Every structure is written in structure tokens, then in C-alpha cells.
Structure 1
């Protein structure tokens, strides 16, 4: 918007000169994004209500990309579950170097004392008889899971330090050696033997050579390695459930668990009995959706090849790339929040906090279908937020202080903004297969 003021100088007639109003930038607006401030133009059409247009100078400028540029990040960094859990146990490393890494102890039981092989460095245990048979290279120590034959020594070599004998923690030796996972939402700490082997069954071949691990990929075990190996992959790798979904996944948010969530620790479950993920601290979830029936409190997403649920308050949403964050301080677009959004301040980021029913102003976006928008809350604080948390029926544009008429808002619901409500409804009716949570039980795990 511009206003006209009279300017004069000596010896010249006064003339009208336009003076542009500069954008009012909130004090918390982060550096590095202001250069990308763009106008988010909307025009009112008598026939269809609010119609978004890409640019006021579309003839001379290139429209923004409609596909997220968020790179696929499969790296295993210091913030991953594996390193937050301190990596492989020292006892596991000892076994990988050729040592025993265990001590035999007797534990009382209902039917009398029994012998267990306890790790020398943590509380991890296996049945001592199974370990003894393995050390002696006997046939009885061959086991199988998900078409992968293995010996108990492998479980010893890949266990993560635990403080409880009934809490099994494993890591993938192949992912850790490569310093990357198969998918960005793959686990790096597994809560059961079953989950570990489900993951191993998806590993592409050939496998990386890991010191201390004898992995056989041939159809038959060589005679010299009979009963003296770690793993024998007897079937081709399983296809990833995310194959062909990478573009779709990149358009949705991802998040990281900020705490360990397990049933043995009293995890919450959904009222409709939808199974919820058990998550290690640092675990990642990708392809996140916000089903309408959960009021923004629970999400659905992908983790370790399964589509499941998790409470939002145990997750930290990952912001989109800076190039996909736009702010328009001259934007007249506003809307009412249909859900509360209150990310923890200590998690950092430019997330906007607001309550249900609060009006968000100065709304803008990189492109309208992007999952992340920006705006200003009732306290005048700028930030970014998931556009799913906005009531699409309340989106409006004001011009010269006037609101869009109610009849225009009704017509607008048939246009672009009306699609938000319909798309969210369709999302909430999605039927997806959710992997059931595997919970380890019993004080003494055994190989099966």
C-alpha cells in the first residue's frame, strides 16, 4: 500500500510523490530468511471467491517450485538413537574381537536356579546353554528368523548396553558401519530380536564387510564355516515399503523422538486402539500426517518400514529447508487455528505457538500446498507452523481494513481454500496398516 505526500524543493512546484510503506518485520524474525520475503498475492473473483495467483509479475519471473527440496537424510549422527544410547556395549565389542564377553551366573527361578550368560559390561543376558553350544560350534546353536540363519554370537555382538535384563536393545552392525540407514525413518536402536531381523531382511546385497562379523550371502554355507558364522541370508532382500514413495515423503514433515517411549515405561495408547510406535530417544518418523480425529495431538507417520501413530508432544518437528520458508509482512491473509500448537521452547526452531481459536495473521507460504506456513500470532510473534492446524473455512483476506464478505467466503470454499477441508477429511478417513508394537517380556531372553 502507498500513500501520497506533498514534497517540495526550492524553485520548483510541489508535486505528489508515492512513498511505499516498508514491511513491519517482527523482532523475532530470523536472519537469512528476510531476503526471501515475497508477496503472497490473492485476487477476488466474483465467480469463485478467493483465487490464489502465483505472482504479480508471472510474465517475467519463474514460479516457485511445487515440490519440496528437502534432501533425504539417512546419516547416523550424534543425535541418532544409536549414539544417544552410547553405541554397542563394551561386552559386545569384546565378543566381536573374539573374546567371550560373558560370565556365567546362577539366577533363582520358579523351578530352581538356572544358569545365564551375563554380559561383562551391562545387564544383557542370554541362556548360558545356548551360548555354550555356539562356542562349541554345535548344530543345535543354529537358529532362524525372517529367513536369516544366525548364531547366538551375533546377538551378543550387536547388543546395546542395557540396565535391565528384560530390556533388549540392539543395533544394526551394517548400518553403523556404513554410518547411514536404509531409509531416513529407520531405527538405529531396536527393542527386540524380532525387530532387528525385520530390519536385516531389508538390507540390500552385497552387505558391507564388518570386522568381526561373518555374514554369508551364498545359498549354501561353505563347509569351513559350517556352525561357525554369524548370519546366513537365505533369501533375497525384501523390498522397502517406502519404495516409490520418496517424492510423497519429501512433501510431508518429519520429526524426531525427544524421549524413549515404551510400554514397559507406561506409554500412552490411542482411544481407538490404533497401535502406537515404541520409539527410542532420537528415533525419526517421516511422512507425517495430522488426522483430524486426533485434534493435532497425535500424528501418523512412517518408522522402520511401518505406518503408525505417536503423540506429538514426544516429538520434535523438523522445519523445512530455509528456501521453503516465506514471510510476507504485507500479507492480509489471516485464519483461525483449529488446534492448539505448542512445541517446546527448549527444542528450538522458529515454530509459532498458538492456542485453539487464536487468529493467525500475515499468513504466507512458499507455495500454497506446502505443509508449512508462516504467520504472526495474537502476541505479535512471527513463526512457522503446520498448515493443517489452520481452519480452512476461516481463511480470509482483508483489503483496506475490510473483511471479505460472508457471501464471498461461502463462494471461496468452492475454490482453492475449500480444498483444505476436503483434503483433510479424506486424510482422516485413510486406512493404513499399522505395525503392532513388539514388547519383550520375561527376565531371561532366549534365542528363537
Structure 2
């Protein structure tokens, strides 16, 4: 009997976790991980925080050194793109002309920045932020006094704005929606972050879309739908991410917003799994298909796919959670906002320490914690267990957090 081979396409957090957990679950066959970047797997969240600020070197981003993969007998191939998946043959063809046959395949191709389709986005002053190479390109313009225009007011845009202001850049945010963080949180928390950035000197314009970008001396000028324009030495487009599903879609695997999987990360094709930002799975907590872009979800899906390959079916049961660091404020969110019938706040926004609870009846379905780690930790447990909360107690900040559950 020939040696089994598990192929992993991608080299992000989900791919890394799948490879490591294959060994942890007892997989003794070959493991080949193929990534399109020229480096070892690395941690992406610091890209728009400490790495952008120049506080950590590239090697500190790496999830593990090369020796770690050698010790686990994981073959990593970098700088290569998967061009074609032949499902019936169990073969992947790559950009370097090589092909790889597999017994099991994990597609963990992640996501890519959503492109802005307006004139001028190809100017050298315009950047997207997804990779180490992207950040290295942006950092050359991150000089005190330089002017930055951020198109998009989500997590990445706001985190970049905070770093830029701390370095001493002049920062303008253009957000097409009526509020910042429009796809992520409610109006109350969005308003808090809008005020936070304005107090730190950021110019914030909501309901404002960029229509085109033109050269302006050595810089650029961003023109908007309201007739106004803004000068920039550097423009960063941060209007969301798109899942990299082309490999699966072209192979006939069922896809929606992401590659559709079941509770065990199995796709519609036999022996093929998907994990991380490229995938879409059914959530037992929200009884719907979900496409999540978060490191914790990627880690959990990588583990689940590895277990399934080893014949150990461990269904996804994690509560989605996210975090963001801006200035001296840590936002931690559990669950997914939407479908709630009331919002209750514990603590005071003006104290920069509060928790917003999103409830459906007495059940907590999501929460945002601003500098409130205890509320965040317990809320993850309450959402997972569908624990009813005492609504009358939530807003009483004098009570211990543990007394909020019934």
C-alpha cells in the first residue's frame, strides 16, 4: 500500500493549523503545504498594527521557524500558486508546471482585498493591505507629516488610522456607509469609535465614496461623490475582503460566498476540505450559513478538517469572536450582531470601558467589549451554552459579571 499524502493549498493560519493537527491526530503520511507567498506561514493580525508601526521585525511574524516544520516532517513549498484542481484525478496543477497527486486535500486559500473599481487606483500612491509585502510598500510613505487617505472604515482601515496618527501622519477616512464598522457592529459602538478617532485627530467622513483618484504633484488627490477632494501622499483601499474560491469554483465544487462545507469542513467533493477565510460553514448557534473572516475561526476549522481526514469527526462548535486594537483601546467581540431585539450597555462610553450586549429575548447572541475582558470571556460561554441572562442586572455595573446569568 502506497504512502498517503495530504495536500494543503494555502499557508495562512488555517493551513498551518491543519498541518500541525494532522500530526497531532496521528497522521503518518506525507503532508505538503503550498503557499503563494515567498515566506513561511505568518501571523496576519499584526500587519496593520505593530508591524506597520515598525515595532516588530518580519521574523517575529512567523508562526514557527523552519525547523519546526522539519521536525514534524511537513513539506512547505512557497511562492507557488495552485492553478487547477482536477477533482476526479485527485491532482493539483501549479504555476511552476508541477503537479501533485493527493489522497486528501485542504483548500485554505484565504482571501484577497476587494478591489476598488474607480479610475486612478493603479497610481503608485494607492495600496491594499493583505501581505507583508503590502505593508513594506506602505511603510515607505509612513513619515510624520505625510497625508494618508483611507478608503474604508472597517477594522483594517481603523487600525491603520490609529497607527498612522501615532506616527504623526495626517489621516482622513472615507466610508461609504452611514457609520464606521458598518458590517461588524451596531451604531452605538460604531459611534464610539468614530468619536475616538476624531479625538485623536482623524478626519472622518461617512456616506462618502471615492469616485476617482488623480496625480497631484508628488502625491495624489482623492475625489468624492460629494464634490470634495482630499490630498494624499499615500492612499490605502480597505473596502473588505473576498474569499479566494476560484480554485474550487473552477473545479465544480459547490461555492456560495465561500467554499460550502459541512460541520466537518468537508466540501461537496470527496476527500476535499476547506478551512479559513475561503470557506463557508453552517453555524449551529445561528442556524445559518456563515462566512467568517477571523483567525479564531480559521484555527478551529483547520483543526476540524485535520481530525476529519484522520477519521475523527469533531463538528465545528466555536462561537465566532474577533478583536481589534486601536490606540489604547481593545475591542473584543463575541457572536455576530444581527437579529437582536434589544441592546443593553454595562459601563460608560465616556470611561472608555463598557460592554454592549445584543439580546434576543433573554438570550445573548452577540456582544462588544471595550476594555472589558471579563465580560467578553463570560459572554463567549453564555452564547455557546445559550444561557439566559437577567436583563434587569446587566446595566448594574456594581454587580459582579457572573451574576448576570440566570
- Give 1 or 2 for the bigger CA radius of gyration: 1
Higher relative contact order (Cα pairs below 8 Å, separated by 6+ residues): 1
Same fold flag (TM > 0.5): no
> Smaller-chain TM-score range?
under 0.3
TM-score of the pair, normalised by structure 1: 0.21
Greater helix proportion: 2
